[in-house]
Structure 1
Amino acid sequence: MSELVPLPEAVRVALSERPRSVLIDTAALARVRERFDDTQAQALGKYLEESQSPNTLRAYRSDWIGWAAWCAREGRQALPADPLDLAVFLAAAAEARTEDGGRWAFAPSTLERKAAAVAAVHAANGLSSPTRADVVRLTLRGIRRSRRAQPKRKRPVLLHTLTELLAQLPEPGWPTEPARRRDALVLLVGFAGALRRSELATISLDDVDVQTDPGTGEPVLVIRLPVTKTDPTGAHQQQVVLPRGQRPDTCPVCAHVGWTELLEFATHDEMRTHASEHREQPTVHRCHSFQGTALSDGTGRPLFPSVSKHGRIAATAMSGRAVAELVKRYASKAGLDPDLFSGHSLRAGFATQAALGGASDREIMRQGRWTNPRTVHRYIRVANPLEDNAVTKLGL
């Protein structure tokens, strides 16, 4: 169940006439067009849309549709909203169940996001937010207090799990070779880089540099993250460094070499011929002399594009949701329950495996770009619940 009520036709038509983002004041843009030319107005609209991440816009738009649909059914006004109407809407949504009646349809965090979406649309249109009213704030507080539950965390992909997932990659050859090489790199970079699924989806070939480890003389991958959950504008220029792996099949640098080698072919036929002639999987490292790829040419080509079942590589990047589905798909192939895994399993797996390997809090936080030690400590408790536990000193 994704919406509280079906979307009425009148609301559907009205929404189709709005811009992609619900956070744009269309009336203000109309006034801009009266004073400035179309080019200037389009530039303003473009950067207003870019003010929020695509995931936030997608979620807010979905939430606004649900609110507008409810208002249409109940004969209420969505914009500007009456705080009491919004409180009743949130309370009704909190009581909604899934179609099978077994679970709540919306978590408290989802309801808070719905309220935030309504507030954001009001702010974008120069209106005061109904969420500031006591009736809305107290309703959300009551929902949180009455619906306390332990968050259901997805299972981390540990090193042995990662090996199982990699073992399920397609056989070498055509037309599965592009997906095999890309998917191997997704899993290895997501795990070793402690990356979120949204971060993986935004990396371009221009964001990957090849440098040399002064200690070993081996190449390392330096991946700049254009935007992250905690740095949505890229102001802090966050990056992760991935060294050579111990084995070729778990080496992120080797996986990058293999993937970019395929991408460098100019035509689909050349790519297919190469894949057909090189069906043997390398048993030695391929990254010793790797100096980078000419594809890092400033054009912003995605590192992880979509790949069809016929081996055709798209010009557009795979989505964050596709990354999560990839992890679930390989978990299922490995005989694991896909519902226990998600895109976050790679990031959680890094932190847990690093803690098991004896990495310090500082080392884990640096690679995962965590700023709150309590977040890292949750992973450490999963890895070794008795570490620094005073009960071990009781002599029981």
Structure 2
Amino acid sequence: MTEYDTDLVLPDTVRTELRRGVTSVLVDTAALRQVRERFDTEQATALGRYLSASQSPNTVRAYRTDWIAWAAWCATENRCALPADPLDIAVYLAAAADARTPDGRHAYGPATLERKSAAIAAVHAANGLPAPTRSDVVRLTLRGIRRTRRARPNRKRPILLHTLGELLAGLPEPGWPGEPARRRDTLLLLLGFAGALRRSELAGLRLTDIHFGTDHGTGEPLLLIHLPTTKTDPTGITEQHVALPRGRQAHTCPVCACADWMRLLAAHTGGPESLRPWAEEQSVTDTHIHRCHGYHPDPRLRPEQPLFPAINRHGGLGTSAMSGRAVAELVKRYAARAGLDPALFSGHSLRAGFATQAALGGAADREIMRQGRWSNPRTVHRYIRTADPLADNAVTKLGL
């Protein structure tokens, strides 16, 4: 049994826990019930809300899935899930490491198994129990799995400048009903590439995070993007910003793409029924002419609305933002339209493409790190080696 089965068979004891409505495996719900006995409902609800927000939804979702799998295994093997015996965890991880998919591949990689171990430790910590995963038998089991299962990381292919052009060539035709998706997707692809943004960062942007400015050195317009939270700064305490200058060419200019999208959003403020006539009146934009000079955001736009809302196939704009997964699926969809294998690309392909293309263009490490907000030079060096394995390599000085 694997946790990705569509029809997961869970023991009744596990299903009972799920029916209680526990949304986070990292919060001790028993302790929260005691809080409700000592404080009023409003105070207890506030505490529970902030405790639940202490971890990202993705982390909670992954840990919850891992805990369900562990609890199901324990119920099947007649073992105790909480508190857990370190030897039971080691046996569970070893069995998971040997599990295979129907096509014969390993079901779980070493990183996934380490996450499973971390999930078990997190639940124990949430219940005031010591982490059984710190024992030697668990640590050595994971070390043995890593040594035995040596494999290259399955990294997605970076989207380079020429690949970006192929993706943009697959945009919907101008006019209705494809105009909203055409403008939104153009901006999303250009921001993700030029800004080295993660898919979660793209999905989390709001209109209030986008600012139009001027490059005082050239007088040209630019975009300033404020990232409220990031993967490495979930609380937003460092106030990370990304600057995007005007592009050399209008069809790949992120400032023009943002101005075009803002104009459509402003037209949508008159109601969904007003958007179609507006889109049909728009003439085909000359891709050789910049449209970002002199643009000023429309005061009718609501600052808190998502920058990238969901759009249905009829051209209707939703009120909720795209998810990070939807961003990745968008990249895959345009890769497929360009005749590329969508399995080779993901949302990270835009961020990786920025670093690789910048390295090919001769950008210094610190320049790439600044725009991509990387703190570890080794991460950037990996992209540089991908772009040019002979760059800064002493083998070129051997005189062979």
TM-score normalised according to structure 1 size: 0.96
State the shift of 1:19 in Å: 2.4
What residue is the counterpart of 1:51 in the other structure?
A: 54
**Whole-angstrom distance in 2 between the partners of 1:153 and 1:374:** 16
What residue is the counterpart of 1:29 in the other structure?
A: 32
Structure 2 residue identity aligned to 1:27: A
Structure 2 residue identity aligned to 1:140: L
**Does the CA contact (< 8 Å) of 2:97 and 2:113 recur in 1?**
yes
**Whole-angstrom distance in 1 between the partners of 2:386 and 2:214:** 34
Local SS of the residue matching 2:190: helix
Pick aligned residue for 1:255 from 246, 254, 257? 257
Structure 2 residue identity aligned to 1:111: L
Pick aligned residue for 1:75 from 73, 78, 87? 78
Per mean C-alpha deviation after superposition, the further-off stretch among 329-338 and 273-282 is: 273-282
What residue is the counterpart of 2:371 in the other structure?
A: 367
Unpaired runs of 5+ residues, structure 1, are none
Give the 5 Å matches for 1:14-163: 14-101=17-104, 103-163=105-165
Find runs of 4+ consecutive structure 1 residues off by over 4 angstroms: 295-298
Local SS of the residue matching 1:224: strand
**Does the CA contact (< 8 Å) of 2:11 and 2:76 recur in 1?**
no
What residue is the counterpart of 1:210 in the other structure?
A: 212
What residue is the counterpart of 1:196 in the other structure?
A: 198
Local SS of the residue matching 2:213: strand
**Does the CA contact (< 8 Å) of 1:356 and 1:384 recur in 2?**
yes
Unpaired runs of 5+ residues, structure 2, are none
**Does the CA contact (< 8 Å) of 2:221 and 2:246 recur in 1?**
yes
**Whole-angstrom distance in 2 between the partners of 1:180 and 1:16:** 42
Q: Deviations over 1:312-334 (max 9, x none)?
A: 21111111111111111101100
**Does the CA contact (< 8 Å) of 2:226 and 2:240 recur in 1?**
yes
Q: Deviations over 1:273-308 (max 9, x none)?
A: 11111141333111101123436654x211111111
Pick aligned residue for 1:292 from 293, 297, 300? 297
Q: Deviations over 1:336-395 (max 9, x none)?
A: 111111111100100111111111111100000011111111111111111222222222
Q: Deviations over 1:203-234 (max 9, x none)?
A: 11111111111022222111111111111111
Structure 1 residue identity aligned to 2:3: E
**Does the CA contact (< 8 Å) of 2:11 and 2:75 recur in 1?**
no
Structure 1 residue identity aligned to 2:168: L
**Does the CA contact (< 8 Å) of 2:332 and 2:342 recur in 1?**
yes
Pick aligned residue for 2:354 from 350, 355, 360? 350
**Whole-angstrom distance in 1 between the partners of 2:252 and 2:83:** 55
Residue correspondences, number:
394
**Does the CA contact (< 8 Å) of 2:24 and 2:60 recur in 1?**
yes
**Whole-angstrom distance in 2 between the partners of 1:104 and 1:296:** 50
**Does the CA contact (< 8 Å) of 1:205 and 1:295 recur in 2?**
no
**Whole-angstrom distance in 2 between the partners of 1:16 and 1:260:** 44
CA root-mean-square deviation: 1.5
